[in-house]
Amino acid sequence: MRRGSGQQRVEQRWGVLLAVPAVLGFLIFTAGPMIASLGFSLTDWQIGGTPSFAGAGNYRALLDDELFWKSLSVTTYYTLGAVPLMLIVALAVAMLLNQRVRGLPVWRTIFYLPTLVPAIANVVLWIWIFNPDFGLLNSLLRQGGLPTGMWIYAENTAIPSLIVMSTWGFGNTMVIFLAGLQGVPRHLYEAVSVDGAGPLRRFWHITLPMLTPTIFYNLVVGVIGTFQVFNQAYVMTEGGPNNATLFYVYYLFRKAFSEGEMGYASALAWVLFMIIVFVTFLLFRNARRWVYYEMADAR
């Protein structure tokens, strides 16, 4: 017994020792900067100058900042369009890849490959696709005798174009859906098939309810990710045309590194943090109404 307890103490010490780098990394690179940014948000600080305490001045200034509200509305619009479309496309492809067909590993690799494309290379590729003069999209539309568009270069089509572009990287969401589909018990499909249920009824009454935990996870991750969208505005549109793609994080970046207002940018960052926390709380609060957990319901 003494040897067992001694070995347990040794394992505990090693566990603590091996956890130290991760804890230090979190404190130094995550918690520390977050606490510092909270302090910066309470100051009037221009890069190169000396911070001066401003209290809640930066937060009060946000209420009168038209670009703050514009960036928030643009980001919300993008989130409401991109997240549902991503979920639908990823689920549809996952259901196709869940079938027993020849060469299935190859098809799965092909559909996942766009996710592996570096972010900037992905954006540059879509700049060419959306080019109104020689882009791939307008070229295909001309060949089909269909009207062309300005896409990201027009105020009314910029965000819809970026929403369509967002589905390009559905690989991770697809893989999670595929794992969820493979976890659906086969005997449930067999039972409803005996009752004469067709594919649509099997999907609506078996697949969809059993996938609700997976849908909920992808929904939360998608909402958090789209609220932090940045690359498209930074590389493709620079927030234009006429601030139509002024995403929140891009506006924060512009305030911090183009205009040098670090205090104001820190306030923007904390407002975004609180928005994400609030939206995530609402999603979890409402999840009990539609998310089905088999083990929980069995109890």
Got the DSSP string for 60-110?
A: HHHHT-HHHHHHHHHHHHHHHHHHHHHHHHHHHHHHHHTS--TTHHHHHHH
Asked if 258 and 131 sit in the same domain, the reply is yes
Span 159-205, pLDDT tens digits:
999 999 999 989 999 999 999 999 888 888 888 888 777 888 888 88
Q: Looking at the structure, do residues 267 and 141 belong to the same domain, yes or no?
A: yes
Number of helical H runs and strand E runs in the chain: 16, 2
Mark whether 138 and 35 lie in a shared domain: no
Per-residue pLDDT, 5: 75
Q: Could you tell me if residue 93 is inside a domain?
A: yes
DSSP 46: B
Indicate if 110 and 252 belong to the same structural domain: yes
Q: Which domain holds residue 258?
A: 58-298
Q: Which helix (H) or strand (E) holds 53?
A: strand 52-53
Same domain, 86 and 194: yes
Q: In this structure, what CATH number is given to the domain that contains residue 194?
A: 1.10.3720.10
Sign of CA dihedral 183, 186, 188, 193: positive
**Longest distance between any two alpha carbons in the chain, whole Å:** 84
Sign of the CA dihedral 218, 221, 226, 227? positive
CA distance 158 to 232: 11
Tell me, yes or no, whether 152 and 249 share the same domain.
Answer: yes
Give the residues of the chain that fall short of pLDDT 50.
1, 297-299
Which H or E run contains 211? helix 208-226
86 shares its domain with 18 = no
Same domain, 20 and 164: no
Split into its structural domains, the chain has a count of 2
Distance, CA of 130 to CA of 157 (rounded, Å)? 11
Query: To which H or E segment does residue 52 belong?
Result: strand 52-53
Q: What is residue 4's predicted lDDT score, i.e. its pLDDT?
A: 64
Same domain, 257 and 202: yes
132 lies in a domain? yes
